[in-house]
A and B are shown apart, each in its own frame.
Chain A
Amino acid sequence: MSEDREWFPRLVEALREPVRIDPALDRRIMRRVAGEAVPRLRWHEAVRDWLTRGRPVRLTPLGGMALAAAALSGVVAGRFWISPPAERPAVLAMPASVSGAPAAVQFVAVAPGATSVTLVGDFNDWNVAATPMHAASEDGIWSVSLPLPPGRYRYAFLVDGTRWMADPAAPAAADSDFGSTNSVVTVGEP
């Protein structure tokens, strides 16, 4: 136990001593490196080497933010150019039109398992065949877009030619005189 107490401080003392390196070490190493023959690369190997060699990149915070903004704007621009507005799914909305001009209104019905869905209302003389809706997905989402001038229109969906269904995303019409509930869409002036 007493021996432990004696050698431990000596060990610590030795470890605290700075490491002494031969001053001629650098010169000897560099002389050896210079003597090594450097293999010459062909031009395409040099290009590949230049392209694939990793390099540290230094960037200021401001430069980083500028780079991120440029990347984000590129993504947004690409989103619009690749998918023109006319092809993007519109949201169910109640748009205001300009001075009597028709506004496109998209109608969406959810009818899983249906084989056909038609949009029927004041705008098509309640003709059950005039405005078929298109299956927007295999989950039973059906949609169609109609240009409507300003006004208030009552409508309903007809599923498989037999079942009347109100639009759950639109107000219900108070004046449903024939049993099934209708929905209402109002297209306003600006």
Chain B
Amino acid sequence: MTIARTTRLTALLAAALGAAAPLHAQEPRLEGRLPETARVQVDSVVTVARQAGLPTEPLVDRALEGASKGATGARIVTAVERLAQELRTARDALGTHSTDEEIVAGASALRAGATPADLARLRRARTGRTLTVASAVLADLVSVGVPVDTAVAAVIALAGGAADADYVAFRRNVEQDVALGASPVAALGVRLDAAADRGELGQSAGPASKPPRKP
């Protein structure tokens, strides 16, 4: 065997090991926290997600949450698989250049009832700015009782002119109004009018930014 041939074989072997390594990579945070069968399955989902360029932290977090709450292994695996699919859908809707935080927040919005088309509209309406807080606020508004369609319209209406802090303040104000007894839709309408008065509604978002009608 010549030196050149030995070198080529070594390089091939190293390449093969390097390619195979991620398939067997184990998430250290899962060690000792899950039943072994569930750990292997979750590890597999995490590995596939990593290879697809998806954020994997939320998957591990979801498995750890299930473990802390005493869920069965099967239930944990189901939850992790579902979240992986939502992350994939969110990334496809928001675009491949989206940050991990945007994808995670987008997945939350999907779980709250938004559609992939809604996320795509939000991306177009908020060009060049992060969608993390906007998507998160969308999910939060739904959680306080705002219908999904109305929440989507409000978040998109704010997309052109609102900073992240404006989104956070908007969500907080709506929550306070609801806590004081206002209906979620009425509270959202009032706060949206106030945002319009402050010039937080963008001028360039087009018809998608039209505020939702109050009841």
Contacts and interface: CB of A to CB of B under 8 A. Distances in A.
B148 to A, nearest CB: 10
Contacts of B113: 174
Contacts of B71: 177-179
A42 B82 CA distance: 94
Interface in B126-174: 130, 132-133, 136-137, 139-140, 142-144, 163-165, 167-168, 171-172
Contacts of B171: 171
Interface in B160-207: 163-165, 167-168, 171-172, 175
Band of interface residues on B: 35 or more
B69 A179 contact: yes
A96 B111 CA distance: 25
Contacts of B133: 186, 188-189
Nearest to B107: A175
B9 to A, nearest CB: 42
Given A96-B168, A152-B104, A189-B133, A127 B68 contact: yes
A85 to B, nearest CB: 20
Interface stretch (B15-23, B38-46, B57-65): B57-65
B64 A125 contact: yes
Contacts of B94: none
Contacts of B49: none
A49 interface: no
Contact of A174 (B61, B137, B143): B143
A122 B144 contact: no
A159 interface: no
A164 B112 CA distance: 22
Contacts, number: 100
Query: Which secondary structure dominates chain A's binding surface?
Result: loop
Interface in A138-190: 150-152, 154, 164, 171-175, 177-180, 182, 184, 186, 188-190
Query: Which secondary structure dominates chain B's binding surface?
Result: helix
Nearest to A128: B68
A177 B137 CA distance: 20
B47 interface: no
B167 A125 contact: no
Given A151-B101, A186-B136, A178 B79 contact: yes
B208 interface: no
A63 to B, nearest CB: 41
B108 interface: yes
5 contacts: A94-B168, A171-B140, A174-B142, A186-B133, A186-B168
Given A179-B69, A179-B71, A189-B130, 4 more contacts: A127-B64, A154-B65, A175-B111, A184-B136
